[in-house]
Chain A
Amino acid sequence: MIELAGVSCSYGEGDVLSCVDASIPRGEAMAVIGPNGCGKSTLLKLLNGLVLPRQGTYRFDGEEISAARLKDPRFAKRFHQRVGFLFQNPDAQLFCPAVQDEIAFGPRQMGLGEEEVARRVEDCLQLLGIGKLRSRVPYHLSEGEKRKVALASVLALNPEVLVLDEPMNGLDPRMKRFLRGILLSLNEAGKTILCSTHDFHYIDGVFRTALVIGEEHRVVRIGPYQEVIGDEAFLRAQNIL
């Protein structure tokens, strides 16, 4: 479903991501790991079309995602609906005056009837256990609550792929376990999950594959998650452990 061929990205001087080759099938649950500054966030932004490759191609469901293609508003919107992104900083994702407005924002844009929108909002609120927050102001919620609201507002779009940038950051253990459960359910339901993380303790069993980016901004390994995480020597050499 997602094909990266020789992708390199740069912001000016030097590559932040170099010669990335990856093939991610539908339904995959992949963890993106690497030391700070290796380019994890850039890779995730690339997958969402926020950043374009300097070199190489990114194909989503067979179509190349390029600047020209994204200029077509219809294509861009459909693409953004199919690939959902949870930013590292939940504050940056919330701009509506109430939680239910935040969650309803996406479905309303899709032209679903008010009933359908209300149903989705309710379902998302219940799924994430934030029913009692529905009329609250997102800005004033706690870190964990904000993340839940942000996730709910992305899920409401019903994306096929869910990309998460360090979702465990700043969450307490209960919240982390909860998030783990959600990710498992969503993957079982057929969603493709791509997640950058360096918090390995609470995400056991969620990921099948791991993609490791090294300090040279290149992909150094793609393999079964358990194998990669179990290889302590390798992780130490990559400055991940």
Chain B
Amino acid sequence: MPVPAWLLKDEAYLPRADREIFVDRSILSLLAVLSKARSHGGTGEEGRRTEPLVKLVSVFVVLLLVSLTRSPFFLGVAGTGLLAILALQPAGRIAQVLKTTLAAGAFTILVLLPSVFWGRGGHPALITVKVLLSVASVRLVSTTTVWATVPGAFKRLGVPDLFLLVFEVTLKYIHLLGEFALAMLYALKLRSVGRNPGKAASLSGIAGTLFLKSKEMAEDMYEAMECRGFTGEYPAAGRPSLGLREAALGAAVALLAAAFFFLGA
């Protein structure tokens, strides 16, 4: 078939000013998620790390103590400890932790501000500091732990295999599906050359196709697992390595707990 006439000449097209905010915002969210997922505590090549189980238990204890405490002095102790650990991290990791922490802090201030003016507010400063410490602790753990080792740690805590398997698969596929979703959003962006009256329909198409892709990948994965003799069990990760670092972290947390009780909740 010969090339049709309209393809032979340039388009004299002047677009109207319609915005596709939702595409740009979705792209930004996905990029943020994917970049966090990409630098997920490294690939384990940086030598031995602190045992994830110890870190998870520690962070839970810290979160609990921070949440329960009413003593700003205790928060000062906890905060100092956290700063010390943070100072030992590489610069990039510090930036990652601080980014999320400060955002959470700012958000908290915003939310609690009305209560300050209103007069019956409780302890907005206390809560804000708690939020900063909590988010920083969690982020610290998540940026220093190889994410793939987390299910193994949970197994030692007695979580059933089904959840562990799901968790592991989810991690992997957030990455794969996320990249696919991002590609779709970029494709939509490139073809958004004018006014799209069916913006929601376009997003539905993307999300729907994403779901179909998920199903397809799930079936492929199931077949691959069957071929490799999968039995529905999550492999036990062997004995947890408990060395100097773990002892140090354990001691630090124990000291913190002591401080908590000493300074009075």
A and B touch in the complex (CB under 8 A): yes
Return A174 CB to nearest CB of chain B, in Å: 17
Count contacts on B: residues with CB < 8 A to the other chain.
Answer: 39
Max count, chain A CB within 10 A of own CB: residue among B190, B192, B213: B190
Q: Are B8 and A190 in contact (CB under 8 A)?
A: yes
Q: Are A111 and B194 in contact (CB under 8 A)?
A: yes
Q: Which residues of B contact A85 (CB under 8 A)?
A: 187, 190
CA of A91 to CA of B187, assembled, Å? 10
C-beta contact mask, A73-102 vs B, less than 8 Å → 1, else 0?
110011011101101010111111100000
CA of A155 to CA of B11, assembled, Å? 12
Query: Is the contact region of chain A dominated by helix, strand, or loop, or is it mixed?
Result: helix
Return B38 CB to nearest CB of chain A, in Å: 9
Q: Which of A16-60 contact B (CB under 8 A)?
A: 48, 50
Count contacts on A: residues with CB < 8 A to the other chain.
Answer: 46
CA of A158 to CA of B205, assembled, Å? 23
CA of A82 to CA of B13, assembled, Å? 9
Question: Interface segment, B14-22, B46-54, B154-162?
Answer: B14-22
The tally of CB-CB contacts under 8 A between chains A and B is 115
Q: Which residues of B contact A141 (CB under 8 A)?
A: none
C-beta contact mask, A100-133 vs B, less than 8 Å → 1, else 0?
0000011011110000000110010011010000
Q: Are B193 and A106 in contact (CB under 8 A)?
A: yes
Residue B191, interface by CB 8 Å: yes
- Could you give 14 example pairs across A and B, Cβ below 8 Å? A12-B35, A77-B192, A91-B213, A95-B188, A95-B205, A108-B194, A109-B196, A110-B15, A111-B16, A111-B195, A120-B6, A127-B1, A153-B191, A158-B7
A residues apposed to B, CB below 8 Å: 12, 48, 50, 73-74, 77-78, 80-82, 84-85, 87, 89, 91-97, 105-106, 108-111, 119-120, 123, 126-127, 129, 139, 153-155, 157-158, 160, 185-186, 188-191
